[in-house]
Chains A and B, each alone.
Chain A
Amino acid sequence: DVVLTQTPPTLSATIGQSVSISCRSSQSLLHSNGNTYLNWLLQRPGQPPQLLIYLVSRLESGVPNRFSGSGSGTDFTLKISGVEAEDLGVYYCVQSTHAPNTFGAGTKLELK
């Protein structure tokens, strides 16, 4: 199975601070069809996960543009440019290039 290593496990931030989360894959996530199926989810307390970013860098409809994704191959990053209170929760990277799909262990974003 593909292992996604997410760092850091916990992130403490102040409102307005910019932060980044890393997701590194044990193998390339480039699919034979040319797409890279690396997605980013946010799970707020008591809520189901919500898609933020798909195909590495495409912003899901309705998601604020302070969220951005980048990377290729095995190395990916989610950046939040100016944390807001509603951004608190657990962030996951998840790959759907290879079966079985796999998740990172999660990064908990807390207020400092």
Chain B
Amino acid sequence: EVQLQESGPGLVKPSQSLSLTCSVTGYSITSNYWGWIRKFPGNKMEWMGYISYSGSTSYNPSLKSRISITRDTSKNQFFLQLNSVTTEDTATYYCAGLPYFDYWGQGVMVTVSS
């Protein structure tokens, strides 16, 4: 069974960096594409980016140069870093399998507040 689990702080101060980990079991991250998606208060969903089986990345241009997705294949984990956060980055963050969105973590709620 494939399982994804996000971890990281639930509270981040404005202008600081948000860092999250997605731990994957039951599927090697050197296969498939793995992404980060966030859901804002309300229903709006945003695709943030992915890291591929080879380690290449693709990001949503809306996040400009603030985002980085990396991985540790020895631990079967991939990571999200979002820099210079503002209150508008308050959301529930999910990691997921792509391109079909067939595997999802439970999500972690991140609040940006001083």
Contacts and interface: CB of A to CB of B under 8 A. Distances in A.
Interface in A35-59: 37, 39, 41, 48-51, 54-55
B101 A51 contact: yes
A48 B22 CA distance: 14
B101 A41 contact: yes
Interface of A: 37, 39, 41, 48-51, 54-55, 60, 90, 92, 94, 96, 99-103, 105-106, 108
Contacts of B46: 103
Contacts of B64: none
B94 A49 contact: yes
B45 interface: yes
Contacts of A60: 102
Contacts of A106: 43-45
A85 to B, nearest CB: 21
A46 B97 CA distance: 20
- Interface size grouping (class) on chain B: 20 to 34
Contacts of B104: 48-50
B99 A37 contact: yes
Given A49-B94, A103-B45, A103-B46, A96 B100 contact: yes
B36 to A, nearest CB: 11
Interface string B84-99: 0000000000101011
A54 B46 CA distance: 18
Nearest to A6: B43
15 contacts: A37-B100, A48-B106, A51-B101, A51-B102, A94-B47, A96-B101, A99-B58, A100-B49, A100-B62, A103-B46, A105-B43, A105-B44, A106-B43, A106-B44, A108-B43
Chain A to chain B: the 9 pairs with minimum beta-carbon distance, closest first = A96-B99, A106-B43, A101-B47, A103-B45, A48-B104, A100-B60, A54-B100, A51-B102, A48-B107
